[in-house]
Amino acid sequence: MSKREFQTEVSQLLQLIIHSLYSHPEIFLRELISNSSDALDKLRHLTLTEDTYRALPFSPRIDLELDAEKQTLSISDTGIGMNEEDLVSHLGTIARSGTKDFLAQLSGDAKKDSNLIGQFGVGFYSAFMVADRIEVVSRKAGEEKAWRWVSDGNSGFEIEPGERAVAGTTVLLHFNEEGKQYADGGRLQQIVRKYSNHIAFPIFLTYDKSEWSEAEKKITKTRTTEQVNAASALWRRPKNEITEEDYKELYKSIAGDWSDPLFWFHTKAEGSLEYTTLFYVPAKAPLDLYQAEYKVGVKLYVKRVFIMDDAKELLPQYLRFVRGIIDSEDLPLNVSRELLQQNRVLTSIRTASVKKILSELKNIASKQPEQYLTFINEYNRPLKEGLYGDFANREALLDLVRFKSTRVEGLTSLADVKSRMQEGQKSIYYITGGAESLLRTSPLLEIYKRKDLEVLILDDDIDEIVFSAIDKYGDIDLKAVNRASTSEDLKDEAEPDKAAAIQPLLDKFKATLGDRVKDVRASVRLADSPSCIVSDEEEPSYKMQQMMRAMGQKDLPGLLPTLEINPDHEIVKKLLSRPDDPILQDAAWLLFDQALLMEGVPLQDPATFVQRLNRILNLSI
């Protein structure tokens, strides 16, 4: 027997692990099972690729054996195994590159250091959180000798020849005080299902199962061996081996949904980063879609080992309705939440995943338009949130969002609107700021109707905020119709004589309305209505300003609306012909107030409005 010292870094690491992970020691089992899984992967690879190994028997499995009396648990695999040299270098030193640098960065401040530890695997040594003595018996595939490694985690380790019938490794833990809680078959099953359910190899648990014995009329204990994990990791299998039913079943188990998903996108990336993603879109929007505390739908796995299911940074917030799995080969098992936010690997996966989801959706939109409509009915709104927040994917999102329009029944895409544009038309127009019925009857649309220009009806309450931040679709301008500056598409209509002709009336109106308006001017956009309200290009619309004030925004500059008057309207013409009639004052206010009402803005002084209306009514009877 030879006694060896741990490399100094190992002792350092051990201390750190015990201090930073004491709050969830159960991860020891995840680590040991993942080591077994790695060892099985390695041997499988060799039997497939190397002649000397091809003939070796390979029956991959992982066995957990619990001896509750002796307080021991063993984790065995039929994997690649380790010889003497391997045991010394893998379990006695820290060979992994970068680990020394990592240790050099440690500050001694426990809190900071436990964040840092997420950068790399805690691995085998985590077992010392629950064990005061660990024995490893291992035999390397293709070799005759077995070796026994023993350590208490403090005073180094010992190595001697051992016994093992077949290649593989057995790790035997002697539980310490902390570990006692795991000498429980039920508990172990739970932990395996939580973290290792999708490990590709079967995991068996042997323990004393308590069962009611009819014969003896009491609870008896029977030594039992059961497979505990599903061993599926469906997402890691080649796509052509996975049936539609398989996909749906996995969805239901991870999303906790009874219904089938609408679509799924399964991607395997190989290259500088290796990962698999499987994303599902639920048929119905999750109930918490619009709650601040929504539940994250994507689970993070590292090498088929479950890591976490509550990391909001896996996908951007607007894709929070997506369910599924991200399984990375490149992240450490112990990656911490704090680290996810700035992790380069995860950032790349996330960026590629978003692109993938959006491009798949675009595909569906063009190939299965009816299915896509079902999708849009549930998720148009979150996509709009993306338009606002995800600048990098704005173009893709603009193609995915659907709109109501003055031209078509139902919903339309910007691409379709573009294809319907008139010869020489410069912009695509939209109207915001109220309910659909209000928008559809707005006087602002009159000129567009007359010129046969399509206008999008944006009646969602976030539309105004979202679309005021977007001014282009490709090379085409997106313009709100309630902006003061009129577009080139309307310009030819403006007849300077008409504006000049009603100038005296405009002046009187301006004098009457005083500081309630920014300006009063002749309109080119009205047909059937006498007046309307517009805002400047850069300012929030008048309706929007009202909303901002209502929400408590106090320091808004006093933005005033511009009143536009229709020179061709009968009322306006009559008023023009009676320059000295006292009715002009009432008329100015009524034309202003009705324009506000049509915008959906409540009147400041309804009583005065009614008095004026009645005066005029009285005159007409």
Residues 6+ apart with CB under 8 A from 326: 275, 276, 277, 298, 299, 300, 301, 314, 349, 353
- CB of 332 vs Mg ion, minimal distance in Å: 9
Collapsing DSSP to helix, strand or coil, 174 comes out as strand
Q: What share of the chain is helix, strand, coil (3-state, %, to 5)?
A: 45, 20, 35
Query: Is 123 among the residues that bind Mg ion (CB under 5 A)?
Result: yes
Q: Which is nearer to ligand ADP, 33 or 361 (CB)?
A: 33
Q: In angstroms, rounded to a whole number, what is the distance separating the alpha carbons of residues 116 and 110?
A: 10
Query: Is 35 among the residues that bind ligand ADP (CB under 6 A)?
Result: yes
Among 26, 77, 135, 593, binds ligand ADP (CB under 6 A): 77
Q: Are 103 and 9 in contact (CB under 8 A)?
A: yes
- CB of 2 vs ligand ADP, minimal distance in Å: 19
Q: Which does 36 bind (CB under 5 to 8 A by kind): Mg ion, ligand ADP, none?
A: ligand ADP
Q: Tell how strand 218-227 and strand 275-281 pair up.
A: unpaired
Q: Are 585 and 616 in contact (CB under 8 A)?
A: no
Q: Which does 92 bind (CB under 5 to 8 A by kind): ligand ADP, Mg ion, none?
A: none
Q: Tell how strand 472-473 and strand 203-213 pair up.
A: unpaired
Structure tokens given for 1: 């027997």
Q: Which does 58 bind (CB under 5 to 8 A by kind): Mg ion, ligand ADP, none?
A: none
Report the site for ligand ADP in 97-126 (rule: CB under 6 A): 121, 123-124
Q: Which is nearer to ligand ADP, 121 or 261 (CB)?
A: 121
Q: Which is nearer to Mg ion, 307 or 565 (CB)?
A: 307
Q: Which is nearer to ligand ADP, 330 or 539 (CB)?
A: 330
Q: How many amino acids of this chain bind ligand ADP (CB under 6 A)?
A: 16
Report the site for ligand ADP in 164-223 (rule: CB under 6 A): 169
C-alpha torsion sign, points 351, 357, 361, 362: positive
- CB of 31 vs ligand ADP, minimal distance in Å: 6
Which span (119-127, 274-282, 565-573, 605-613) binds Mg ion, by CB under 5 A?
Answer: 119-127
Q: In angstroms, rounded to a whole number, what is the distance separating the alpha carbons of residues 102 and 477?
A: 52
Report the site for Mg ion in 601-620 (rule: CB under 5 A): none
Query: Is 35 among the residues that bind Mg ion (CB under 5 A)?
Result: yes
Query: Is 82 among the residues that bind ligand ADP (CB under 6 A)?
Result: yes
Q: How many amino acids of this chain bind Mg ion (CB under 5 A)?
A: 2
Token pair 């429980």: residue:
184
Query: Is 31 among the residues that bind ligand ADP (CB under 6 A)?
Result: yes
Which span (72-80, 508-516, 549-557, 589-597) binds ligand ADP, by CB under 6 A?
Answer: 72-80
Q: In angstroms, rounded to a whole number, what is the distance separating the alpha carbons of residues 324 and 342?
A: 22
Residues in the chain: 621
Q: Which is nearer to Mg ion, 302 or 319 (CB)?
A: 302
C-alpha torsion sign, points 139, 145, 148, 149: negative
Q: In angstroms, rounded to a whole number, what is the distance separating the alpha carbons of residues 334 and 195?
A: 12
Residues 6+ apart with CB under 8 A from 70: 174
Which residues here bind Mg ion, judged by CB under 5 A? 35, 123
Which residues here bind ligand ADP, judged by CB under 6 A? 31, 35-36, 38-39, 77, 79-82, 90-91, 121, 123-124, 169
